[in-house]
Amino acid sequence: MHLKRSSVIKVGRYVGVRAVTVAVAIVISVYLTIIIANAGGYVDEIIISELRFNIYESVRANPMYKGYPPEEIRRIAEERIELEIKKMGLDQHFMIRSFNYLYDALTLNLGRAMKIFSSSGSNRVWDIIGERLPTTVLLFTTANILIFLCELFIGLTLSRRYGSKLDKLAVSLAPLSSMPGWFYGIFMIIIFASWLGILPYGGLVDAPPPEEPLLYALSVLEHMILPLLSWAVAYIPIGVYRMRTFFLMFSMEDYVDYAKARGVPPKVVERRYILRPVLPPVITDFVLVLISSWMGAIVTERVFNWPGVGTLMAEAIAINDAPVIIGAVAIFAYLLGISVVVLDMIYAIVDPRIRVGE
Amino acid sequence: MSKVTLIAKSIFRYKSLLVGTIIIVFFFFMSVYAVVLMPYSEAVKRWNSLDYWEDNPKLASPSWINLLLNRKLPETLILDSKYLGTKVRQEIPFDGGVYIRVEIHFNYEYDDFPSEIILRLYMHNVTRTAITTLTWVKPDGTELIVDESSMVGGYRYYSISADRQFQARYTKYITEKLKGRPTYDISPEIALFAKEVSGLLNPETKEVLKGRYRVILIVKSPESSADVDVKLNIYGKVFGLAGTDHKRRDLWLAIVWGTPIALAFGVIASVVTVFLEMIIAALGAWYSGFVDYLTQRINDIMLVLPFLPILVMVSYFYRLTIWTLLGIVVVLSIFGSGVKVYRAMFLQIKEMPYIEAAKVYGASSFRIVFRYMIPKVFPTAIPAIVLSVPTYVFLEASLAILGVGDPTAITWGRVLEEAFSGGAVYRGYFHWILEPATCLVLMTLGFALIGFTLDKIFNPKLREL
């Protein structure tokens, strides 16, 4: 595809506007998170405990105070904490402070966890989340891409055989999607892990993890089968139904009939006159599915004990670790925002109306 | 033809609509039954109480499972000496004490061992130590001394199942008797109900000895006024219509009372959400200009808000009850893809002649929006309302799974969560997890069948495809 300069600008402008909207959404959701969390006084608590931790450490490590009695060291530390609270403006009104917190959260300066540690031993929230992020992204990017491709392929096949038994079957399967992926997950575990015993109950790898990288990867793949399968059952049927409807709608257009009449080969008709124009609405549709599936990711992880951000959030809830919960919400806001912007970029490239301008 | 008669006719024309309606009507009657059975506050109190359920077995399967199996799993036997058994008192002539012998008989005709045995001893009118001996007589006449101990005070809770001493003694005894070591830990329930033949040494071949059992308790107290009552609970492996959970609670109560909660939560959330979405869309379309721009932008932003994490956080920080949760769910979901769809419809309707006529006769904006525009679009939204009911029911379940559900409410989601974190899947208590799951599936199926069919009827353009 070759893009003219003017169309590059138009695409850029479109993506820019969408990116700004998404950025505003991220800011708002993070700010909302702070307001909600602070109404219970949690953010202040996090900041102050972080402060205490740092000051105590620095006083204790300072050779100047070596040999002082512990009470003296505590007094010095408390004094400094007082000063630092004033300096940081913690005695100011919350509305002013909330914007400082917003800045911190947006720059992923998320403070320290109260109870959870990362496997490297750090208790910084970002370290803990950063460790879990790749597993979440691995599972759900794979899931979303696989689901999208399956929907596209099956939808296209069905629209070619419109009205056949297979088509009717697929349409009648659409209500399967009224139930979320994690719910199918429970059934999948019962069938494939408890009953048949051929697949693992959950987790990321076998315990103990295999030494060899190849075996490790295979073990991870094995653990991904059930989550992927349950998502496939939950999200593919409705997707196929909608794709098929899109394809049918677009294949009834007059220009398709005209192209056929002109004697354009069926393959070309399909690719150029049906597949191309159908892509923009398909992508819009996919964005909506993606948004709802990201949300389901938290529960799916919990069900399959998949060590990602969602499980982390559930663990943090179970042991009352507020900073981690707030951090996880901020991360989910980013993940969701990034995936929407990426899809918007693809949309802008695919949709000729944006490139040419209306 | 009015919409009502259209629906009534369609119900019989479309089989899926009929099936869906039957399911939902069934759940409706279940809700009525729940309310008749006991008020919600009473149900919650009972559900969260511990001692109310003490005579139920732990993690028992539903009783009807016996109809499917070719062996009979035991029911629970509650043997209270107040109502059955014989009691013989005998004064001890020299010390002035008393010797009481309580004997309980029961028949055991099941093919599996009980799940747990607990003995409760109630002594009356005593201040000094009494000596108790518990003897167990099997149908074949084998006598086992289960426990010999002294007892201070009026009440003793004695879990025979947890008696490691008896277990050790029995293992030694059976090793000598059968001339071979058992290959597994013989738990007291097995010890007290097994045929003492060589098959007992292997977990695969152990067998229940059926017949009439006798349990004899002998109490020697130095006080002649002493009296004793015994309650022997031999917990089975099946219970009631729905079985029990890890806290001995009857799951039937949760299934029954979970129904109106799920219905109310789902229906209220989806109806209110769609109505508010419509009002926002209609106002935006009618007033256009700034109002429209604002709602559109808010909508764009709300669409990419991480809805579930925020909801999880709100319910975590404020420990919401299920009804405040409902309110927050509605507030967070009124902006969404729905507003976009309805706005497009309202923009068309706004240009229709009957709206023009209304403007001419001087109808107020309020009247036009609420009396002329919204009612026109509402029927097309009915399928969406019906289809989104299960979404909200599952939303509640998701929150429960993540551990932030209302801790006192009785919902299917909570039972599911307790079953899941209680290891029902790994340890094979399938009834515990499958019952709430089946209810969720059935309810979803009902609403989905109705919703998809109504969609075909109300939005006929899809019918052509």
The DSSP-derived string for A265-309 is -HHHIIIIIIIHHHHHHHHHHHHHHHHHHHHHHHHHHHHHT--SH
Q: Are residues A308 and A246 in the same domain?
A: yes
Query: Please, which residues bridge with residue B121 across strands?
Result: B156, B230
Nearest 5°: phi and psi at B79?
-110, 105
Q: Are residues A163 and A252 in the same domain?
A: yes
B303, B306, B441 ranked by CB distance to A333: nearest: B306
ipTM over 0.95: no
Residue A175 counted as domain residue? yes
Q: Are residues A185 and A286 in the same domain?
A: yes
Q: Are residues A298 and A329 in the same domain?
A: no
Residues, chain A, total? 358
Mean pLDDT, residues B454-464: 66
Q: Smallest Cα–Cα separation from B418: which of B258, B234, B240?
A: B258
Q: Are residues A347 and A289 in the same domain?
A: no
Residue B217's identity, in one-letter code, is L
Cβ-based neighbour number of residue B71 at 10 Å:
9
The rounded distance, in Å, linking the Cα atoms of B61 and B441 is: 20
B307, B313, B437 ranked by CB distance to A36: nearest: B313
Residues of A in contact with B403 (CB under 8 A): 314, 317-318
Q: Are residues A356 and A226 in the same domain?
A: no
Residue A327 has pLDDT above 60, yes or no: yes
Residue A123 counted as domain residue? no
Cβ-based neighbour number of residue A128 at 10 Å:
27
Binned at pLDDT 50, 70 and 90, residue B331 comes out as confident
Please say whether the beta carbons of B237 and B208 come within 8 A: no
* Any B CB within 8 A of A288 CB: yes
The gap from C-alpha B175 to its chain's centroid, in whole angstroms, comes to 43
Q: Are residues A138 and A261 in the same domain?
A: yes
Mean pLDDT, residues B70-97: 81
The rounded distance, in Å, linking the Cα atoms of A235 and A140 is: 13
Mean pLDDT, residues B233-262: 91
Q: How far is CA A236 from CA A146, A231, A243, B103, B455, in A?
A: 10, 8, 10, 65, 20
Q: Smallest Cα–Cα separation from A101: which of A110, A93, A91, A92?
A: A110
Residue A215 structural domain: 129-318
Mean pLDDT, residues A285-289: 76
* Any B CB within 8 A of A189 CB: yes
Nearest 5°: phi and psi at B228?
-140, 145
Contact call for B444 and A179, based on CB within 8 A:
yes
Q: Are residues A181 and A229 in the same domain?
A: yes
Q: Are residues A162 and A92 in the same domain?
A: no
What chain B holds in terms of domains, given with CATH numbers, is: 3-49+249-464 (1.10.3720), 63-235 (2.60.120)
Q: B332: which 2 tokens?
A: 């967070």
B300, B391, B420 ranked by CB distance to A186: nearest: B420
* Any B CB within 8 A of A56 CB: no
Highest mean pLDDT among A183-192, A209-218, A306-315: A183-192
Please say whether the beta carbons of B259 and B439 come within 8 A: yes
Please say whether the beta carbons of B354 and B386 come within 8 A: no
Q: How many domains does chain A have?
A: 2
Measured in angstroms, the CA of B404 and the nearest CA of chain A are apart by 8
Binned at pLDDT 50, 70 and 90, residue B458 comes out as confident
Q: Smallest Cα–Cα separation from A157: which of A277, A270, A261?
A: A270
Instruction: Provide the 8-state DSSP code for B208.
Output: B
Per-residue pLDDT reduced to its tens digit, A35-77: 877 766 666 777 777 778 888 878 877 777 777 787 888 888 8
Q: Are residues A64 and A193 in the same domain?
A: no
Q: What is the pLDDT of residue B1?
A: 54
Residues of B in contact with A42 (CB under 8 A): 317
Per-residue pLDDT reduced to its tens digit, A231-262: 999 989 988 888 888 888 888 888 888 888 98
Binned at pLDDT 50, 70 and 90, residue B465 comes out as very low
Query: Please, which residues bridge with residue B122 across strands?
Result: B155, B229
Q: A35, A160, A295: best mutation site toward chain B, by most B Cβ within 10 Å?
A: A295
Residue A260's identity, in one-letter code, is K
Q: What is the pLDDT of residue B460?
A: 65
Q: Are residues A56 and A142 in the same domain?
A: no
- Give percent of chain A above pLDDT 90: 8
